[in-house]
Structure 1
Amino acid sequence: MASPTTVRPEPPQQDMTAELTLVARALRAELGAARCVVYARRPDGGLARLAADGDPRECAHTSAAVPLLVEGEVAGVLEVERTAVDGRLPDDAAADRDAAAAAPYAGLAETILGRERQASLGARQRRELAELGRTRELQRRLSAAVAAGTEGDALVALLASLLGTGVALLDAALHPVTWSAPEGAAVLHGSSFLPGTARVRAALGDLGPERASVVLPPDPDAGLMRRHLVAALVGEGEVSGYLDVVETGRRLGPADATVAEYAAAVLALQSLSETRRAQAVVQARDDVLGELLRGSRTPDDLRRMAAHVGLEVDRPHLLVRLPVAEGRSARDGRAPASALVGEALGVPVLAIAEPDAVVLLVALPAGSAPEARVKAQLGAVLDRLGPLTGCRRAVVSAVCRRVEDYPPAHAECRDAESIVAGFGGRAGVLDAADFRTLRLVVNGERTSVAVRFAETLLGPLRRNDAETGGDLTDTLRHYLACGAQVRATAKALGVHENTIRYRLGRIEHVGGLDLRRFDALLAAQLALQVDDLARGGSA
């Protein structure tokens, strides 16, 4: 990939080795020495030969060694070598003369070395500036893309294009989330990226807020067939994932690390923002669902709040109470339980965690007998819910069709669950309506429970009468007073028997009562009695 910053080639430099060779040759000719050599000082302190003149095969001995100083530091040595004459080595006086004669030539060598150092420094500075410019340009392009709304997969693809190599976004467990490789790069696939071997995990162990990236060299034993540049995604002090840049040609350098770290920081912020948005949505739904079940606001307020979080409260729903065993967390079990039930039912399911239960809000599916189907499907997944809640039990409410239906349905489920738990905790899918009469008997000492019981049963009938001008409540009262006889009830009300049968059908539909069952008749009778007492009337 072409770099975003064009680097102008360096101007041709005079051959330093050739120049130093001329210096050595001139000094050797002047002194008649066997050989003259110019050495450069290596970073480790040793000497490396740069240039020489003379036959190295002659048996020569050092006569003089003049240090070459560049900017006050020893940058090399100019050495004069002579052969022994009649077995005698040069004496100190000869060595001093050679050193004095070599001094001007040493000055020339120092000039050449100094010039080369400045040229190298300038070239390095130009390379660093070019790399800095490239880094800034890549960061600018990434910033512009982020400002335009680029996220996730698209941002990884852009980074791969800018760096000209394969890039993968991995989660904290090193599983690929998404990856991209530009056209022309070496063939890559999902398994080309960072493997989750123990050695790789150990190498990434110190990545975090203090150390943003690391380069992993090829290591076949660790599953690394290429060089990898890995930058950590850090959110709120914790590593939430990794950005893996694979070397596929051009060698990755410091500029690539800087850009990868920048991209990882952007992706981490985007991920954190997305998580917080999701948490805010969940919290908003929890708040609305809690208000709905408590009935602590007006119906209009609840409808308006529910609409903001996408909850259709006027659509028929069931409440499902999943008790949580002691030592289990309803908050931890809420999400998996709602996901499991939603998958089984194929309908939207919201959930709220209470101290001792998970309460699900289940939209009734379309089709015939939806309540029966929901209960049957709940029964089919109870064994899978058990490990999440510690109980193989679900208590299902009557159908909630209006905002006003949710608080009494919630209370009815809670009281029914309390009764079942008190009698040993029967397993299975239980209908809260089946415990209406037993609720009143078990909690007979509590007047408030009795009043709530009566309102749960009679409230829907009264509201229907108010909206339609009907007589469902009065018809039920007379029907019970006439011993559940249609003919006697029709005579008492002065209407046709078919009218009574129609009204009884409406009572069953609106109030959720099965008037063919004795316990339903008994519950209705008790509810009317409690209602009369609460209102100060007479039967």
Structure 2
Amino acid sequence: MTLLPSTGTATTPLHPPGTATVPRHRERDVITAFAEITGEAIKDTDLEELLRAVCVKLCEVIGVCRSSLYLKRPDGRFRGAAGHCAEQGDITEAVKRQESGIEGDRFSREIIDTARPVLIEDVRNDPRPHRRTMEHWQVRAMLGVPLVFDGEVIGLLFVDDRDGDHAYTQEDIEIAEMFAQLSALFISQAMLNVRLRTQASEIARSRNTLAYLADVHRKLTNAVLEGADIHTVVALLSDLSGKPAVLYDEDFRVLAWSAPAALGLDRPPVISEKIRGMPSVKAELAGLSPERPSAVVPPTLSVGLGRRHLMCRLVIEGRPNGYLGIVEVGRSLEAVDANIAEHGATVLSLQILSERRQIETQGQARDDYLSDLLRNTRDKEHLIRRGPQFGIDLTNPHVLVRFTLSANPRLTASAAQRLVTRRFREILGIDEPAAVKLPGHIIVLVPLREGGSADELAAVREKVRQVRASLQPDLATGATVVSGVCREVADFPHAAREMREVAEIAHSFDRFDDVLDVTELGLLRVVVSSGRVKEAVRFAHEYVHTVRAADDGVLLETWRAFVAAEGRVQGAAVALDVHENTVRYRMGKIKELTGLDPSSLDALLSARLAFQILEFSAR
């Protein structure tokens, strides 16, 4: 679409060059007009304002009400640049939406091809103008002149009287041509100045960006050298970008985040699962690499998609290791944000790698410390003094937990240890505990925060069962043993031996699927530790055989409850939810069947041992 005029191919030139002479007073008008425009140019007026001034002055010297100016773009198209109408004022924005020389605009093409003025006196009956444009702008007669500089048409000037006929004289045409020649010189210089200013501005902006990025690099490097952790680095990235920064692991769990205080955010503005699931976003994230480390997702915003995120890949030792996100909140994402994110991702990758190396080194030292504690190879004072280095306070009580590994583990011993300690941290809600990997098993040191009360020990055993269940089938552990409470340094080696004995007992009885407490197997451990497991099982079955054969299990259940209540009738009655006389009657029947006094100390000890063996050997 053309704004004012628009037409096509040439016919006959309006006049041969130099065949008419412009009156001196009109020449003075042109010179005076350009003197005023030059005065504006000296003030460094905006290019668009200068172009509009050209349109205004051309209307004045020709005596028409409307003028428009089009400039040639680098792609060869002539786009509207400025416009003026005596009735409507500044029409530049409307002109900017137009283009000359398009298909069907033979009028404009004629001016461009001949580099000469073209006059259409009757637009409605002339085939050359772009019909729809002429009708829209209510053009009756129009004069178009080229802006020629160095033999090239760099623009077009059009004049007309809005919805009115205007008789253009030869003098008008020459005046317009002279005006256009002077305008071409002026406009080409103004455009050159604009390009130079733009280039200078770009150079200055690039220089400032490079200086800023150098400052970013310096601040990030200094932060790491000064011992900043990843949370501090992420906070620094947020400050540098002026936007929220979020660090994710490979599964998009948030590892650290920070946002400018002015935003008032109380939770990290994460990239949602909905956005991550979009095919275009998945492709963008999958395409991130050292050669293309960052991308904005989603590329454009739509209703329901929330914010845009500049996502940058973290790569550690050649392997993907999470993402750093800069979030478009408060301020729009800028090109410099990508540089900040990429610098930050590199620093964070190195920081995470360094922290891992430190953790591995500290972990090995802590393993060695726990091994010394279990083997009692160091003096007590040395062990107590070194404990705080590894987050272990031996002045507080602890328990040991022994995980037996399967013969063909799916994980290496180190990976199994990391998995076990991580699950303890998650399920017990404690800092990652100390652990040591030994041939065939892993021992974990668990602190007791409440002094090792009965309730706390029961809770710890239940949590250990949850830990054990969560490890299957990745670890496929055998029997899991919980030690008694260790309150002194000397207790730990003894507890380790007890756990080993219980694990061996469990293996002897093919018990691989339970959590065992050494405090509940005292007498059984003494008997079975001799290695005569078969004899122990035979003893248990023979001891209760008479009672088991005589009833349907009621007497045996009552006997078991009586032993568990340490020979007290009232305790057994409460456990069985029966009357005390019922318990007395049943215990009398047991005495008749066995010939033993069930309440005697020898009978209680033997029965307790028999029931423990039966329970332990049960499938």
| In 2: Cα distance, 1:406 partner to 1:129 partner | 65
- Which structure 2 residues correspond to residues 274-423 of structure 1 after superposition, within 5 A? 274-290=355-371, 293=374, 303=383, 307=387, 309=390, 319-325=400-406, 326-329=408-411, 331-335=414-418, 337=420, 350-361=434-445, 374=457, 377-378=460-461, 381-382=464-465, 384-388=467-471, 390=476, 393-395=479-481, 410=496, 413-414=499-500, 417-418=503-504, 420-423=506-509
Aligned to 2:72: 41
CA RMSD in angstroms comes to 5.6
Query: CA distance change for structure 1 residues 336 and 224 in 2, over 3 Å: closer, same or farther?
Result: same
Residue of structure 1 aligned with 2:343, choices 221, 237, 262: 262
Cα distance between partner residues in 1 of 2:452 and 2:325 = 52
After TM superposition, give the deviation of residue 253 of structure 1 in Å.
1.7
Listed one character per residue, the Cα deviations across residues 225-255 of structure 1 (whole Å, up to 9, x for unaligned) are 334333344433423232333231x433222
> What amino acid is the match of 2:301?
D
Q: 1:39 to 1:244 in 2, by over 3 A?
A: same
Does residue 190 of structure 1 match 2:272?
no
> Gaps (5+ residues) in structure 1?
1-10, 83-94, 444-515, 519-539
Secondary structure of the equivalent of 2:287? coil
Post-superposition shift, 1:283? 1.9
- 2:199 equivalent in structure 1: 121
- Which residues of 2 match residues 475-486 of structure 1 at below 5 A? none
* Structure 2 contact 69–82 (Cα < 8 Å) conserved: yes
What is the count of residue pairs matched by the alignment?
A: 417
C-alpha separation in 2, matches of 1:259 and 1:313: 46
Alpha-carbon distance in 1 for matches of 2:244, 2:368:
44
Q: How many Å separate the matches in 1 of 2:265 and 2:429?
A: 41
Taking a change above 3 Å as real, the CA distance of residues 442 and 364 of structure 1, as seen in their structure-2 partners, is farther
Distance 1:168 1:231 in 2: 10
Corresponding position of 2:90: none
Bigger shift: residues 19-28 or 348-357: 19-28
Give distance in 2, aligned partners of 1:165 and 1:215: 14
Code of the aligned partner of 2:436? I
Further displaced range: 352-361 or 278-287: 352-361
* In 2, Cα distance between equivalents of 1:264 and 1:386: 37
State which drifts further: 280-289 or 208-217.
Answer: 208-217
The 1:151–1:411 alpha-carbon spacing in structure 2 relative to 1, beyond 3 Å, is closer
| Matched-pair contact (CA < 8 Å) for 2:296–2:310 | yes
CA drift of 1:300 comes to 8.4
Counterpart amino acid of 1:242? L
| Structure 1 SS opposite 2:339 | helix
CA distance in 1, matches of 2:302, 2:488: 65
* Percent of paired sites with the same residue: 27
TM-score, normalised to structure 2, is 0.51
Measured against aligned partners, the alpha-carbon deviations of 1:24-75 in whole angstroms (never above 9, x if no partner) come to: 8999999999x9976423344311134689999354587x8576469xxx78
Q: 1:345 to 1:252 in 2, by over 3 A?
A: closer
Do the aligned partners of residues 408 and 437 (structure 1) sit closer, same or farther apart at CA in structure 2, a change above 3 Å counting? farther
CA 1:167–1:425 in 2, change beyond 3 Å: closer, same or farther? closer
With 120-129 and 406-415 compared, the bigger mean Cα shift is at 406-415
Question: With structure 1 as the length reference, what TM-score do the two structures score?
Answer: 0.57
CA distance in 2, matches of 1:228, 1:354: 46
Aligned counterpart, 2:45: 14
Structure 2 stretches lacking a partner, 5+ long: 1-41, 85-118, 121-133, 161-172, 534-603, 607-619
Residue in structure 2 matched with residue 238 of structure 1 by the alignment: 320
> For the Cα contact (< 8 Å) 1:382–1:393, is it kept in 2?
no
- Provide the C-alpha distance between the structure 1 equivalents of 2:397 and 2:226, rounded to a whole number of angstroms: 42
| C-alpha separation in 1, matches of 2:82 and 2:431 | 85
Counterpart secondary structure, 1:378: helix
One-letter amino acid of the counterpart of residue 357, structure 1: H
Give the Cα separation in 2 of the matches to 1:413 and 1:404.
15
